[in-house]
Structure 1
Amino acid sequence: MTTPEAKVIRRRCARVLLADEDDRVLLFYSRDYMGPGVEYYVTPGGGLDEGETLEEGAAREVFEETGLRIDPGALGPVVAETEGDWSDSPDLVIRSRDAYFFLRVPHFAPARDRLEDIERAEFTEARWLSLDAIAEADALVFPARVAGLLKGLMAGATPVAPVPIPWGAWTWDPDRGWTATERAPILDR
């Protein structure tokens, strides 16, 4: 729930689960951005620019957020999808539909110099996390829990069709503050 006059924006997003040679996955860590003591992880990726394919948007977002250049053609198929509402203010709701790619890359130190000002403020640091660490923090991964999906991907199993994963973001509730918006996974298109 948000305020009755909240603006609603529809957004198509492309996200990339970047895994290094030691089976660690890159996630951005945030603390205190949404409120004192509130912490969470964010997967690399974001909204598509007009006319972009999912692959092009994913490659652009990875470059902007990490400095790593990837070929959109190297991403392979979409391995998962999720959708739901989220907001970072009481007056705005983002109705997001996110596609996930999985890509193995050599370990690297992400560069923060291309982050937007809001991302620089939100992402406290970039962390390479093991599967165990992601499983422990899974409820805090935005916008969807990815631990179960990553286990299969790390073992080399590429799904035939995108796996639906549960949404786990939040919106503003005027009676309760920030409230989880988890809902059933995508079942049909």
Structure 2
Amino acid sequence: MLAGMATTPEGLIFRRAARVLIVDERDRVLLFFGGGLIRQDADYYFTVGGGVEEGESLAEAAAREVAEETGLRVAPADLGAVVAHTAGPWSTHDGVRFHSDDHFFFLRTAHFEPDLSGLEEGEEKEISRHAWLSLADLAATDAIVFPVGLAGVLERLLSGERLDAPVEMPWVDRSAAA
């Protein structure tokens, strides 16, 4: 899986990712609950999405990831422009080090029950469940929410604000966040 992947000058595996903020008609975002790949000692939520494959655009990768991870089919053009971005280092609990470059799309859809049957083996181990969370739920949770700054970006998007450029969200090393 890691053979042939680009590395940074610091020796980290470079991972460009396309992620999607999937929001239903009740203004709840679909998040996955982590099961231990990154943190074994903390509960955490993270967004739908994953790595961009060679030859894919960000939107193509995002649409593919949404289908694989949730069963929802969406055309890349329906995702619009990137609404947020964050980048930085992290590592798996067993020490594999990455530098992620995460690009986020915003997708409004009717509520649906995600079909997790398309998850890859590593994703099956990582994702223990999913949840549709409101802004109030995000504020109330004791779990870590990745990306940091998600609630602020969602609040802007849900208010109808049109973003002229992607919002730069702060990076917190997921493997070290408390």
> Please, what TM-score do these two structures have when normalized by structure 2?
0.87
Residues 76-91 of structure 1: pairs in structure 2 closer than 5 A: 76-91=80-95
Identical aligned residues as a percent: 48
How far has the Cα of 1:180 moved from its partner?
A: 3.0
SS at match of 1:44: strand
User: Distance in 2 between the 1:136 and 1:53 partners?
Assistant: 35
User: Distance in 1 between the 2:19 and 2:86 partners?
Assistant: 11
SS at match of 2:116: coil
RMSD of the TM alignment (CA)? 2.1
Gaps of 5+ in 2: 1-9
Deviation readout 1:40-59 (Å, 9 max, x if unpaired): 00100011000100000000
1:66 pairs with 45, 65, 70, which one? 70
1:97 pairs with 97, 101, 106, which one? 101
Number of equivalenced pairs? 169
Deviation readout 1:90-127 (Å, 9 max, x if unpaired): 43211011111111001000001000111111111110
User: Distance in 2 between the 1:152 and 1:139 partners?
Assistant: 22
Letter in 2 for 1:180: A
> Please, what TM-score do these two structures have when normalized by structure 1?
0.82
Gaps of 5+ in 1: 1-5, 172-178, 182-189
User: Distance in 2 between the 1:31 and 1:59 partners?
Assistant: 24
SS at match of 1:113: helix
Q: Does 1:18 align with 2:22?
A: yes
Instruction: Report what 1:130 is aligned to.
Output: 134
Q: Does 1:180 align with 2:173?
A: no
The answer to whether the 8 A contact 1:139-1:168 is kept is: no
User: Distance in 2 between the 1:85 and 1:32 partners?
Assistant: 17
User: Distance in 1 between the 2:39 and 2:142 partners?
Assistant: 19
How far has the Cα of 1:168 moved from its partner?
A: 2.5
Change over 3 Å in CA distance of 1:147–1:49 after alignment to 2: same
How far has the Cα of 1:30 moved from its partner?
A: 2.0
